[in-house]
Structures are given as structure tokens and as C-alpha cells.
């Protein structure tokens, strides 16, 4: 149990560092592209939150999902 907790903590620390670097990098790119003020901060917020939302959605079992992709992507049948 303790080893698993230590492994989760290490992953959490690494994820937080990666998120901070990603956030800063995206802000710098937005600033270099001419976005200033709140728009330069909105870009990394929207991108990072989209990644978090996709990750959380990926963890939801298909039976609990709603929407057009609830059944997953199916290959067309050959006729």
C-alpha cells in the first residue's frame, strides 16, 4: 500500500511539473504571436483544460458516456 502511494505521489509531482511547464510555454507562444493580457493567459488555460477534460472523459466507461460517440467508433461493414 505504501509503495503504491509513493508511486502515485511521484506521478502526481511529475504531472504537476509538466503542467506548469506546458502552461508557461503556451503562454510564451501566445505572447510571441501577439496575444497580450488576458488573451495570452486564456490560451494555455483552454488547451490544458481541454486535455484534462479529454483525459477524464477517457476514464469514463462507455456504458456511462452520452453523446454520439457513446458506442465508440466502428469500422464500416464491407458489402
Model pLDDT, residue 31: 94
Q: Tens of pLDDT along 1-57?
A: 666 666 678 888 888 898 889 889 999 999 999 999 999 999 888 888 888 888 887
Q: In residues, how long is the chain? A: 79
- Its pTM surpasses 0.75: no
Segments making up each domain of the chain, as ranges: 21-60
More confident residue, 68 or 10: 10
User: What whole-number distance in Å separates Cα of residue 43 and Cα of residue 59?
Assistant: 25
Distance separating alpha carbons of residues 35 and 28, to the nearest angstrom: 9
34: left (phi over 0), alpha (psi -120 to 50) or beta: left
Q: Kindly state the average pLDDT of the residues 49-70.
A: 71
Q: pLDDT value at position 1?
A: 62
Amino acid at each position: 500500500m505504501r509503495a503504491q502511494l509513493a508511486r502515485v505521489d511521484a506521478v502526481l509531482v511529475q504531472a504537476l511539473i509538466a503542467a506548469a511547464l506546458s502552461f508557461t510555454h503556451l503562454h510564451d507562444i501566445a505572447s510571441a504571436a501577439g496575444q497580450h493580457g488576458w488573451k495570452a493567459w486564456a490560451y494555455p488555460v483552454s488547451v490544458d483544460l481541454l486535455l484534462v477534460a479529454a483525459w477524464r472523459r477517457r476514464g469514463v466507461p462507455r456504458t456511462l458516456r452520452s453523446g454520439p460517440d457513446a458506442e465508440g467508433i466502428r469500422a464500416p461493414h464491407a458489402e
